Amino acid sequence: EGRDISMEQWLDGLGSGFGAQYGHIFEELGCSNLSELHMIGNERLAVLQSAIKASSMDKRTRRLIRAALRIHLDEMRAAVSAAAI
């Protein structure tokens, strides 16, 4: 799949250096690639959200990453629903 990139690459697409700074947060939950993100489930997603909040990110960066996560997960759910029809 063309969108299966590392979480560090995805984060760098949101902001320069974000991958190196924040990629570990995702990798600690078993998400080293973007395709793995939609498989983490609601419980681990809540842990991810908490880890983002507890990190050294400033508020603007945190909001940007959360919004991008929401958009990506919504797109993945829509694609899965469309494929099921």
Task: Say if residues 35 and 4 touch (Cβ distance below 8 Å).
Answer: yes
Strands, E assignment, 1-85: none
In the chain (85 residues long), the average pLDDT of successive 10-residue segments reads 81 96 94 87 90 94 95 85 79
Residue 1: the pLDDT is 44
What does pTM read for this prediction?
A: 0.85
| 65 vs 17: CA distance, rounded Å | 13
Residue type, 5: I
Residue 6: the pLDDT is 95
Of the CA atoms within 13 Å of residue 77, those in its CB half-sphere come to 9
